[in-house]
Structure 1
Amino acid sequence: MRVELPEPSAEARAHSERLTALIRAEIATAGGALDFARYMELALYAPGLGYYSVGTTKFGAAGDFVTAPELGFVFARCLARALEPELADGEDIVELGPGSGALAAELLLELERLGTLPARYRLLERSADLRARQRETLHARCAHLLDRIEWLDAPPSTPWRGALVANEVIDALPVRAFALRDEGLFARAVGIDAQEHFVWREIAADASLQAAVERVLGKRAAHLPRPYLSEVCTLLDPWLDEVTRTLERGSAWFIDYGYAHGGYYDPARHVGTLRCHYRHRAHDDPLILPGLQDITAWVDFDALARAGEAVGLRVAEHATQAPFLIANGIDEVFAQGYERTADEATRYALAQQVKRLTLPGEMGEKFRVMVLRR
């Protein structure tokens, strides 16, 4: 997928070069080939240098991509209606990766209108820069509810009840990349060429990767074309255990783009699902612009369901985004928003928002909602 990308500023380029130097040093320490999962971790989360560790604008029109809450209020108001039964006794909401704070603000406002505010709205955010932006958003949009809001550095350490919300979070977990070839299974790693550019390398798969790939592919591996490139998120199981361990009673809501029912490892999907986002351009080269672009992999919802079962959670709901929003009142949310404004430009923008959230070619079928319950 070749895409013309805007040229970074001199300051952004210098920042990327600092992260590049750090990654080069790790590649040298690793003997010339750094497993892609470690490369992705550094590119996204290296302290002070990774994409999510610095204060550049990432979300919305001025950033690199737009999430559903950044489009407007429709998504959050529908989600609030779905969450309402979970909060009947004043339980908590814990949001993972709260981004700009837009989802938190709109959820709180809609739950207030519905008369079902959570006792606490807790945002798990480690980035100081993103925390600052979230505080700014929440102060501007729902200052009267700030006494219910708190920030966490880690998942709650004591038992709690309510709803865990993770919108477009799992896609940013580092994944291990692999290649199936006639000669066998290989780990895809990152090396350096003669021009000091990052390049793909393939090395023998270690026992951990072999076990992970065998677990997700099983007998299907024999029927996949060669070569076949894909990814497996080996962090998913321990991560889910960590973020839900103290959820005593309630539900965990995961909204992300992904595949289910065996579709992740479809024979036609032979180049994997890695996607990068830079200034609203999507492409598939994670080895360029380290620190300046988002790197994601589509979510294997079958694996998420298995991970949930392993930690005592059951799948309570699983649907693509369009039917989920329809079941949770998108028609009423749209009608109310339409009636409350006479501005034709605003009405048009609202209609476009609904289309983007629900149409098959947009988010309607690409995004899925899975609810795990304890």
Structure 2
Amino acid sequence: MATEPESVASPLLARVAGAIAQAGGWLPFDRFMAMSLYQPGLGYYANAARKFGHLPQDGSDFVTAPELTPLFGHALARQVAQALEATSTDEVWEFGAGSGALAQQVLDALTVLGRAPARYTIVDLSGSLRERQRASLEAHAGRVHWADALPERMSGVVLGNEVLDAMPVQLLVRLGGEWFERGVTLDGGGHLVWADRPTDLRPPFEVPGEHDYLTEIHPQAEAFVRTLADRLQRGAAFLLDYGFPEAEYYHPQRAMGTLMCHRGHRSDSEPLVDVGLKDITAHVNFTGVALAAQDAGLGVIGYTSQGRFLLNCGLLDLAQRADVRQNAMMQKLLNEHEMGELFKVLALAPAASAEGWVPMGFATGDRSHRL
């Protein structure tokens, strides 16, 4: 029986309370975030409540680029087709495929281009989302497969759209000139509250000044790209998400961090409220991800804004054949004050797959030098 949204919070809170007790009364935020999002059957991405959609009236919480317009996936597919050809691979891997909209768009476009992969593998931990993906991808059933984890060795083109931002982060807070790790505990009434502990952890970029400052560090996102580097023998990876290079991420004026929650198409900064009923995200430190990838053996083959990437992939050409509504939605993908500038695209590849070609998405406007 599907888990109803109203039934999620109470049993999940009991699990969190148990984890706090087992940890001695204090739980690091990354562990709390992992439980809130991924606790089997109860976490936000593990329960049956709807996540993706255009309006709160449809029961959704937020919209991603593929739900806005298929032009997004069709433009990305051009980059995928080039990368498959350049790296002599024939498989696409998508992490966190959400509703399955991006996979459908990419596969539809690749089929039209005559470059449909032999296999499209979705790596997703959510059983409820997996069922929705199966329904969306019925027309490509022979090519689509699902996996719970990466194999020891793999090749192909890897896609991750809004995946890194949902990976648990640790919170660091500077108070009175001293650094603490912020975690979660219970007050006398059994309510979740913040609690800080002294720590030797520091942001990777020195934050000037001594003013109070809250921020995040991203060990799980960095561990993800290290694992990808270990497993990806041939191919390329394209990671699309909202975030900044390190100097912008840890800017002294960004004193409240980037942690954000999403529910009913509204945003708030209170992850200890409505646990399991809303999304929790943090912006991506693209410099940290790029350095972790490089240290593990992947090369950075491109980094730019989403708007520039999509234009380079021929989005405007595709838009000429689209209707008025699709073109209106396309503007949200490109406009600097919406998704065009806040979202970035980072491309990575093993050394053997990085030479002899320039990914079309970075043909102009590459910002790798700013990482």
Structure-1 separation of matches of 2:339 and 2:99 = 20
Structure-1 separation of matches of 2:299 and 2:84 = 19
Amino acid in structure 2 at the alignment position of 1:155: L
Deviation (angstroms), 1:25:
1.6
Which of residues 174, 178, 188 in structure 2 aligns to 1:194? 188
Superimposed CA distance per residue, residues 98-134 of structure 1 (whole angstroms, 9 cap, x where no aligned partner): 1111100110010111111112111112222111110
Q: Is the 8 A contact 2:177 2:210 kept in 1?
A: no
Q: Is the 8 A contact 2:4 2:49 kept in 1?
A: no
Q: Can you give the 5+ residue segments of structure 2 that lack an aligned partner in the other structure?
A: 351-371
In the alignment, is residue 363 of structure 1 matched against residue 339 of structure 2?
Answer: yes
How is 1:1-374 mapped onto 2 (pairs within 5 angstroms)? 12-61=5-54, 62=58, 63-88=60-85, 89=88, 91-139=90-138, 143=139, 145-158=140-153, 160-205=154-199, 207=200, 210=201, 213=202, 216-217=204-205, 220-221=206-207, 223-260=208-245, 262-338=247-323, 347=324, 349-374=325-350
Q: Is the 8 A contact 1:90 1:117 kept in 2?
A: no
Deviation (angstroms), 1:55:
1.4
Structure-1 separation of matches of 2:314 and 2:74 = 9
Structure-2 separation of matches of 1:30 and 1:157 = 32
Deviation (angstroms), 1:14:
3.2
Secondary structure class of the residue paired with 1:262: helix
Deviation (angstroms), 1:195:
3.5
Structure-2 separation of matches of 1:80 and 1:335 = 17
Structure-1 separation of matches of 2:268 and 2:71 = 28
Structure-1 separation of matches of 2:5 and 2:345 = 35
Structure-2 separation of matches of 1:120 and 1:154 = 16
Deviation (angstroms), 1:33:
1.8
Amino acid in structure 1 at the alignment position of 2:220: L
Q: Is the 8 A contact 2:245 2:285 kept in 1?
A: yes
Superimposed CA distance per residue, residues 320-368 of structure 1 (whole angstroms, 9 cap, x where no aligned partner): 1111111111111110113xxxxxxxx1x21221111111111011100
Secondary structure class of the residue paired with 2:211: coil
Per the normalisation by structure 2, the TM-score is 0.89
Structure-1 separation of matches of 2:83 and 2:278 = 36
Per the normalisation by structure 1, the TM-score is 0.88
Deviation (angstroms), 1:68:
0.4
Structure-2 separation of matches of 1:260 and 1:282 = 23
Secondary structure class of the residue paired with 1:310: helix
Deviation (angstroms), 1:90:
5.1
- Show the counterpart of 1:342: none
Deviation (angstroms), 1:298:
0.3
Structure-1 separation of matches of 2:345 and 2:141 = 28
Q: Structure 1 residues 268-277 or 24-33, which shifts more?
A: 24-33
- Show the counterpart of 2:365: none
Indicate how the Cα distance of structure 1 residues 113 and 18 shifts in structure 2: closer, same or farther if over 3 A, else same.
same
Secondary structure class of the residue paired with 1:256: strand
Percent of pairs with identical residues: 37
Q: Is the 8 A contact 2:229 2:293 kept in 1?
A: no
Secondary structure class of the residue paired with 1:254: strand
Secondary structure class of the residue paired with 1:288: coil
Deviation (angstroms), 1:191:
1.5
Structure-2 separation of matches of 1:156 and 1:42 = 25
Structure-1 separation of matches of 2:210 and 2:116 = 51
Secondary structure class of the residue paired with 1:337: coil
Structure-1 separation of matches of 2:118 and 2:295 = 29
Indicate how the Cα distance of structure 1 residues 11 and 156 shifts in structure 2: closer, same or farther if over 3 A, else same.
closer
Indicate how the Cα distance of structure 1 residues 11 and 250 shifts in structure 2: closer, same or farther if over 3 A, else same.
closer
Q: Can you give the 5+ residue segments of structure 1 that lack an aligned partner in the other structure?
A: 1-9, 339-346
Amino acid in structure 2 at the alignment position of 1:289: D
Structure 1 residue ranges, 4+ long, deviating more than 6 angstroms after superposition: none
Deviation (angstroms), 1:242:
2.0
Structure-2 separation of matches of 1:153 and 1:244 = 18
Secondary structure class of the residue paired with 1:315: strand
Deviation (angstroms), 1:285:
0.9
Indicate how the Cα distance of structure 1 residues 261 and 184 shifts in structure 2: closer, same or farther if over 3 A, else same.
closer
Aligned alpha-carbon RMSD (Å):
1.6
Deviation (angstroms), 1:265:
0.3
Secondary structure class of the residue paired with 1:47: coil
Q: Is the 8 A contact 1:318 1:370 kept in 2?
A: yes
Structure-2 separation of matches of 1:302 and 1:290 = 30
Structure-2 separation of matches of 1:286 and 1:224 = 27
Superimposed CA distance per residue, residues 166-188 of structure 1 (whole angstroms, 9 cap, x where no aligned partner): 00000011000011123521010
